[in-house]
Each structure stands twice: as C-alpha cells, then as structure tokens.
Amino acid sequence: MAFLIRTVDFTAAGREIVRDRTVEQSELTIGRATDNDIHLPDLAVEQHHVRIQEAPDGTLIIGSVGGLGFGIDGRTETSAEIAPSAGAELALGSSRLTIGRGGTTSITIKQAENTDTKDVLRGFALASALPSKRIMSWAFAAVILIALLTVPIVTHLTRDPVENDPESEMPGQVVFDSTWSTGKLSLAHHQLEENCEACHVTPFVSVQDATCLTCHEELGDHAETPRLAKGMPPFSTGDAIQWKIAESFGKEGPLGCVNCHSEHEGPVKLEPASQQFCSDCHNELDTRLTDTSIGNAHDFGEKHPQFRPTFYTKLAAEEPMRVSLSADPVEMSGLIFPHDIHMDEQGGAAKMALSIGKYGAPLECSDCHSETEDKVGFEPVEMEASCESCHSLVSGRSGSGFTSLRHGDIDDLRADLMKVNRGSRPAASSGRTRPGQFAQGRRYYSNFGRPFGAYLSITNALGPNGVCGECHLPTTTNGTPDVMPVNLPDQFLMHGYFSHEAHEDETCVSCHAADRSDEATDLLIPDLESCRDCHKGEAAVKTKKIVPSSCAMCHAYHTPAKPWAPDEPEDLPPNLVAILEGIKR
C-alpha cells in the first residue's frame, strides 16, 4: 500500500509551499518523535500518538498509541475507522491532517486556521509567566542607565575633586566606572585596571598629554611641537575632517600621546612603531623642513643617510663635531697610538705580552677596552691598568720598593720628577782622592743647589722622545713643556643605539679595522655599508646572517639615542603568564 503525504506551509507573505512524498508501507505512525513517519513538532502531541493501518477490506483503522485521544471530524476519539470512499480530518495539536482516498491514500497536513485554541508551545515557555518583551526591554534599559551611567556620574559629581590619582590613594573612587572599559589595559598599565581616573581625569574627555606626563615626565620630546607639526605630511581631506571632529570632543591633535599609544587593547606589551610610522615624515623631510640637517630616510637597507659620529676633529678642541663618514674624517684625540703595532701577533708588543703573566698571549682588544654595563659603550682606558705593564713609569727605588711617576696631571708629573735626584748623590769623582775641601760633604763640593738632572728629566719626559712622548703629542703652555689634552668621546653615535652584546659572536676587527690601522687619527667606526652586510630593511627575510632591521631597532621616538625597550611591568598577575605565552606563539 502507498501513502501520499503532502505538507502545506505558508511563507510570511502568505505564499503557499507544498511538499509531497510517497511512503510504500501498510501502516503509518504519527507523533512528536522524529522516528515517526509523520513528525509533528508540537508539545501537545505525544511522542508516538496515532497509528494508521489498512484493513483487508480497504478500511483505514486509526488508533491511539499512548492512550491520548485525537480529534476526528470535530469529535475526540481514541480509535476510529474511515470508509474507503469517505474522507476524514484528524486534529493533532495545532495540525490538521486531511485523509482522502483515490487510487492512493493521501494525507494532507496543514496548521489550523482561525482557531480559538491557545498556542500550545506558549504554555510551555517562560513568556507565559513573564511580562511582554517590550516591557522587559524597557526595564533592562532602565537598569543599565541607572547602574552603569547614572551611578558613575552621581558618584563622580559628589566625591572630593582630585587632579590625578595614579597611586589610588584618594578615597571615594567612582562606582561602576570600570564597566565602561572597552578592554583590558596593556601590561605596562595593568595595575590601573580598577582606577580609571588615573588617566581619565575629566569625564567624557579624551586622555590628555598632561595626565600622561604625570607618570612619564622623564620622556623627552622627539622635537619641538611646532616643528613636528611642520614636518608631518599633510592630511587627506577625510583625515582632516576626522581630526576636526575628534578635537571638538577634547581629543588632542595628531601629536598627542593617545594618537600613538592606544590602550584597552588587551594585556599585551607595547610594540615598537613600524617603519612606516617613521618614514611618513622622514622619507621626504627636507621638502617640509628646508633648514634641517637630517638626511631623508625610508628603509635602512635602501635609503638611509651615512652615519655621522661625534668626535674631536681638531687638537685641543673645546667641543666635538658631528661629521659624516663619507667625508673620510680623521680623529684628533691628542694621542699617538698605532693599533696595528699592538695587535700584530708577530710584533714586539705581542712578544712582550707573552712574557707578562697578566697577558701570556698576544694582545686583544678586550685587554685594554672594557664594556660598560649597558653594553653600549666602553669604559675609559686607564694608563695604570692597561698600559703600564709595558710602558713603565718607574722612576726609582724607595726603600724595598719602587717609585713611579703619577699619570694624568702634568703638575703631579713635574713634582715627581723633581724628586728623582734627591737621594744620596754619587762622589764627585771615583777612583782617586782630591786634596783640600773638595770632597763630598765639604765646603767646596761642586754639586751645588737642586739637582739639575731633575730639570733635564722634565724636559726629556715632555719632549718628543721622552717617556710621555711615546703616547702623547708634546706641546708648550705659556712657554712650559706640556702635552696635548686627550679628547676621546664617551660615545660616538649620539643619535642612534648600538649594542655590542648583540654582536658578541663577531670579532672586534670584523667591524673595526684596528689590526690595519697605523695612525692614531684613524676613525675606526664602521660605515653604513658594512652594517648593511647583515642588517637589511624591515621587510627583509630573516636568515642566519640577514637581520630585518626597522627604525626602532636603533632609534626611539622620545629618546633617539636609545632603542625601543619598554620597562618590564612588575608583579604581573599569575593569569597573564598563559596569555603572554599565547601571544608569543
């Protein structure tokens, strides 16, 4: 036997949708369970409600499966028979099943129309016990306005006024103000999560630069504000309109702190500015600042000015000069020091170092040059610690030891040399005795007055061939022998950052050609091209040798001589550890 099952639905516009399917079997089950032949998703219908079978004479027998009745032609029954030539209408919940008989038994399913019966599903829903959706919506909106807007405003207006409260020391914080936060603060500011007024001093006004400087007063300006504004590229029409609107709501201009440092973006570390941030201004800076001495820069691997170290270009100069390496400059430090002699592994300096227990090997750069703690520069070379092992300043004996000339001050040197011949003097002659009172200690001994040899030693020491002249350029000051003052800068690259610690795998001479320098005037600073052997632009592909290098690797915005290195936040909440690890991955 075959059953033609026809389902009739209606769209929201009232269009009828008819779906037909044929079932080849002798009986059908109808109910709410999905395993029924006719599935009616209605809570008023049992899981297995009705079974329809065909009798031998062709009559359709309808029976209740679970005992709950069904409607048939306007009456409620638990069982019924339908004659082959007659039709019938079954009512199950809100569904109406019209049964007809032609060549095939057909069952047409529709939803009841114009019925006074209450929606069966509604009786099982929360809506039957609650107010309407409209009332609920207005009620929740009122709660939100009172709790999250009215309460913060009232508590702010009624509390004691404060200028700024970064340490959370003022009582009476605004209630519920954190509910308006758009996200977690960065790791550097995580301790301010519950203290919105540390930054948001004035309600509904953007954070001001003066507030930021309450804690970050040590930050320097990249340049004077008017000059920064002049050096910026012009805004597009759309950007200019947006800034006009933002400034009307109290946001400071494009040079304000919050324009670059966005908060409430999650517990992450502050990231360095991208190369594009710098190149927007510096790529064609000279077209806007026609008086600038700064060269245009866009990408370290492609467009960057030659390095300009700061050093002394003249003997006894009062101030150092900043000179480009492209001009092949010479350094006038006042010293006579050929590096190649000291670094020649077969030379006399190397043989002398081999015989001295302090070294025991040919000299290396680190024997004289010690890095500073920050690994950026080097400590001043001290004669007593680094040079005196070979260049002795011993001037005589003193009891069981030796006396040495003091180094570093000419007046001290003169005083020490004055004492050189004050010891017991030798006899006027040796090998024979002179008659009369000319013997040593007698009235007419010829070695009168202070030792002339001391004055001679001073002249020789400060002369070209004297002990001082081995390292220093001799000169005269007010007619008195002297040496040129030593002028060596503590740091050569004043407007950029360089860490020797990051280059410890390289030898010193791979960047500084000290082993080939035969003049003290050689400026042993690597130039731009030598750095580009490894350091390419920001977009370069990283390899074992190639290092992608953005502007922030050597320059910072607020302090140009330092790199981007935000302070590590202290006392991180334990739950941030996993977040940080996830960010790193």
Over residues 436-460, the pLDDT tens digits come to 545 555 444 444 444 445 555 666 8
pLDDT over 90 at 463, yes or no: no
pLDDT over 90 at 289, yes or no: yes
Pairing of strands 38-39, 474-477: unpaired
* Calpha distance 407→217 (Å, rounded): 42
With helix as H, strand as E and coil as C, how does 288-349 read?
CCCCCCCCCCCECCCECCCCCCEECCCCCCCCCEECCHHHCCECCCCECCCHHHHHCCCCHH
Band of pLDDT at residue 519, cut at 50, 70 and 90: very high
Cβ–Cβ under 8 Å, residues 104 and 2: yes
In the predicted model, what is the mean pLDDT of residues 172-176? 72
In the predicted model, what is the mean pLDDT of residues 101-129? 68
pLDDT of 436: 52
Cβ–Cβ under 8 Å, residues 493 and 340: no
pLDDT of 243: 92
pLDDT over 80 at 190, yes or no: yes
CATH of range 2-127; options 2.40.128.720, 3.10.20.30, 2.60.200.20, 3.30.420.40: 2.60.200.20
Provide the edge-to-edge strand list for the sheet that holds 79-82. Answer: 38-39, 27-31, 50-54, 60-64, 79-82
In the predicted model, what is the mean pLDDT of residues 450-473? 73
Token digits for 485?
Answer: 């003052």
pLDDT of 569: 47
- pLDDT tens digits, 226-240: 999 999 999 999 999
pLDDT of 424: 53
Give the amino acid at 90. Answer: L
Of residues 126 and 81, the one with the higher pLDDT is: 81
Task: Among 122-136, 304-318, 510-524, name the one with the lowest average pLDDT.
Answer: 122-136
Measured CA distances, 3 to 7, 24, 35, 112, 221 (Å): 13, 6, 17, 22, 86
Q: Report residue 236 CA to chain centroid gap.
A: 29
pLDDT of 236: 92
In the predicted model, what is the mean pLDDT of residues 426-432? 49
pLDDT over 70 at 288, yes or no: yes
pLDDT of 300: 93
* Calpha distance 60→491 (Å, rounded): 105
- pLDDT tens digits, 344-394: 999 989 999 998 888 889 999 989 998 888 778 888 888 888 888 888 888
Question: Phi and psi of 131, rounded to 5°?
Answer: -65, 175
* Calpha distance 149→254 (Å, rounded): 30
pLDDT of 479: 86
pLDDT over 60 at 558, yes or no: yes
Eight-class DSSP state of 252: -
Band of pLDDT at residue 161, cut at 50, 70 and 90: low
pTM of the model: 0.63
pLDDT of 449: 45
* Calpha distance 374→500 (Å, rounded): 9
Euclidean distance between the first and the last CA atom of the chain, given in angstroms as a whole number: 65
Query: What is the DSSP annotation of 460-520?
Result: HHTSTTSSGGGTB-EEEETTEEEEPPP---S-S-TTS---SGGGTTS-GGGTS-GGG--ST
In the predicted model, what is the mean pLDDT of residues 85-110? 86
Of residues 270 and 287, the one with the higher pLDDT is: 287
- pLDDT > 90: what percent of the chain? 32
pLDDT of 584: 37
Q: Compute the mean pLDDT over every residue in the chain, rounded to the nearest whole number.
A: 82
pLDDT of 580: 40
Token digits for 544?
Answer: 């074992």
- pLDDT tens digits, 303-349: 999 999 999 999 999 999 999 999 999 999 999 989 999 999 999 89
The ranges assigned to domains in the chain are 2-127, 394-427+434-470
Q: Report residue 380 CA to chain centroid gap.
A: 33
pLDDT of 127: 63
- pLDDT tens digits, 54-78: 888 878 899 999 888 999 988 999 9
Give the amino acid at 563. Answer: P
Task: Among 18-22, 188-192, 303-307, name the one with the lowest average pLDDT.
Answer: 188-192
pLDDT of 91: 92
Residue identified by tokens 């999905």 is 34
Band of pLDDT at residue 581, cut at 50, 70 and 90: very low
